């Protein structure tokens, strides 16, 4: 694991919150809405400083997001410069500014990655094939089973598999993760020599693969085993030139569709009583930390890709009509305008307070699930 890449990933993750809230901040100021506080994370407050313009910059304890506290956020507040006194057009712009900043961030990161090397995260990932240039294509070690042939020769997560030589001396290059199971199956029970890269250094290990009898017998248990004892994965980097911005937009559309599909699956599982399946569709701060930590084995491109996807996910989640988030506030505002009825401060506090409490509870629940999963 590269500590530097992990720190970079965590820093960029925090910056996504800052960028989101900065969107609200800058659009509010440009449209005459006063700012009272710009906060990173949620209270209790750890440190704060009052600026010369009168608003407070704070760093808080709970790493669950961030906030901008506007002057007179309640719809009933009609003081000059308050959010409540702003026009509907201004309110919509302010509430959608954070989402826009996260979308812009995702687009910029994905465009840069398309120029320098874009990791493939999903099957049939969007690409302009006529402009795609593969610059890296590796078969990597994922999970290593304990007490397996792989563990006995020191294979570790992130190692690059090169080739397998049979006892008869025939060498087969490991061209892809999908090809590896067939290669090891054909050599079941035999002594093989495996060539692999660890920390950019070539290693060679000799080991006897598990027999077909052992592997077939394990298939009938809750702990199936492989011939070598690893879960391989393919890591591909592609570079684009003129089509980089188009690829970035295409990926944003593709990942947005996948996100809504995942949300739909999670909700369907929840309503059918399959809570564990629903929980597997989401992750929280602990899960994100684990993804970034594992991603350091793959390089800075993978870290930037994950940050871009998280930025896009933040935009998607914040535009949904969830009371504690921007989309929920926008939904309530538009409904009140449609019925030409002003919402009282008490009603707003109940709606947004309840939504926030539910959101925090979900984050805590997801964090517990992440810890158990890891």
Encode burial over 91-112: b for 16+ CB neighbours within 10 A, e otherwise.
bebbbbbbbebbbebbbebbbb
What pLDDT does 374 receive? 47
Is the pLDDT confidence value at 274 over 90?
Answer: no
Structure-token pair, residue 1:
């694991």
Domain boundaries, the chain: 3-117+253-373, 133-238
How far from the centroid of its chain's Cα atoms is residue 149's Cα?
Answer: 33
What pLDDT does 317 receive? 87
Instruction: Tell me 86's DSSP state.
Output: S
Q: pLDDT tens digits for 235-244? A: 999 999 999 9
Poorest-pLDDT segment among 34-38, 117-121, 282-286: 282-286
Which stretches does DSSP call E strand in 145-270?
Answer: 160-165, 171-173, 191-198, 201-208, 230-239
Structure-token pair, residue 66:
């961030």
d(CA 33, CA 24): 10
Please tell me whether residue 196 adopts helix, strand or coil conformation.
Answer: strand
What pLDDT does 101 receive? 96
The residue ranking higher by pLDDT, 374 or 117, is: 117
Is the pLDDT confidence value at 284 over 70?
Answer: no
Sign of the dihedral through C-alpha 223, 226, 230, 233:
negative
What pLDDT does 77 receive? 82
Going from the C-alpha of 54 to that of each of 51, 80, 166, the distances in angstroms are 5, 16, 73
Please tell me whether residue 82 adopts helix, strand or coil conformation.
Answer: coil
Is the pLDDT confidence value at 276 over 60?
Answer: no
The confidence band for 265, taking pLDDT boundaries of 50, 70 and 90, is confident
Q: pLDDT tens digits for 138-177? A: 999 988 998 999 999 999 988 999 999 998 999 999 988 9
Percent of the chain topping pLDDT 90: 50
Instruction: Look at strands 201-208 and 191-198 and give their pairing.
Output: antiparallel
The confidence band for 366, taking pLDDT boundaries of 50, 70 and 90, is low
The confidence band for 266, taking pLDDT boundaries of 50, 70 and 90, is low
Structure-token pair, residue 270:
């929840």
Is the pLDDT confidence value at 24 over 50?
Answer: yes
What is the arithmetic mean of pLDDT over 185-212? 93
The residue ranking higher by pLDDT, 371 or 302, is: 302
What is the arithmetic mean of pLDDT over 209-234? 90
Poorest-pLDDT segment among 120-129, 194-203, 356-365: 356-365
What pLDDT does 261 receive? 80
What pLDDT does 251 receive? 96
Q: Find where tokens 């750890």 sit.
A: 46
The confidence band for 228, taking pLDDT boundaries of 50, 70 and 90, is very high
**Cβ–Cβ < 8 Å for 321, 328:** yes
CATH superfamily of 133-238: PDZ domain (2.30.42.10)
Poorest-pLDDT segment among 51-55, 104-108, 113-117, 259-263: 259-263
What predicted TM-score, i.e. pTM, was given to this entire model?
0.83
What pLDDT does 21 receive? 92
Instruction: Look at strands 230-239 and 118-119 and give their pairing.
Output: antiparallel
What is the arithmetic mean of pLDDT over 98-113? 96
The confidence band for 17, taking pLDDT boundaries of 50, 70 and 90, is confident
The residue ranking higher by pLDDT, 265 or 207, is: 207
Tell me the pLDDT of the chain averaged across its residues: 86
């Amino acid at each position: 694991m590269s500590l530097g890449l992990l720190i970079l990933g965590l820093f960029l993750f925090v910056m996504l919150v800052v960028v989101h809230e900065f969107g609200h901040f800058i659009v509010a100021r440009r449209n005459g809405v006063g700012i009272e506080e710009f906060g990173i994370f949620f209270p209790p407050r750890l440190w704060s400083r009052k600026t010369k313009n009168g608003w407070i910059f704070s760093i808080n304890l709970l790493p669950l997001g961030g906030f901008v506290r506007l002057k007179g956020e309640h719809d009933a507040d009609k003081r000059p410069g308050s959010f409540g006194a702003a026009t509907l057009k201004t309110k919509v712009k302010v509430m959608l500014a954070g989402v826009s900043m996260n979308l812009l961030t995702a687009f910029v990161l994905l465009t840069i990655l398309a120029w320098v090397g874009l990791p493939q995260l999903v099957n049939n990932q969007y690409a302009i094939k006529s402009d795609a240039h593969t610059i890296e294509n590796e078969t990597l070690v994922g999970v290593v089973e304990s007490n397996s042939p792989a563990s006995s020769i020191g294979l570790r997560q992130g190692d690059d598999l090169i080739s397998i030589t049979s006892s008869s001396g025939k060498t087969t290059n490991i061209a892809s993760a999908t090809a590896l199971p067939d290669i090891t199956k054909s050599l079941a029970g035999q002594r093989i020599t495996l060539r692999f890269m660890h920390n950019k250094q070539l290693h060679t290990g000799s080991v006897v693969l598990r027999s077909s009898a052992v592997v077939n017998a394990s298939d009938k248990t809750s702990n199936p085993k492989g011939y070598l004892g690893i879960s391989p994965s393919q890591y591909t980097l592609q570079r684009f030139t003129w089509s980089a911005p188009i690829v970035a937009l295409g990926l944003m559309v593709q990942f947005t569709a996948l996100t809504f599909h995942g949300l739909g699956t999670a909700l369907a599982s929840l309503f059918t009583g399959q809570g564990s399946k629903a929980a597997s569709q989401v992750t929280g701060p602990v899960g994100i930390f684990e993804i970034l930590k594992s991603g350091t084995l793959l390089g800075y491109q993978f870290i930037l890709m994950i940050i871009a996807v998280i930025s896009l996910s933040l935009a998607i989640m914040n535009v949904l009509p969830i009371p504690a988030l921007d989309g929920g506030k926008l939904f309530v505002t538009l409904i009140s305008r449609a019925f030409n009825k002003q919402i009282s401060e008490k009603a707003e506090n109940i709606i947004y307070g309840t939504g926030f409490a539910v959101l925090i509870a979900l984050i805590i629940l997801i964090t517990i699930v992440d810890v158990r999963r890891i």
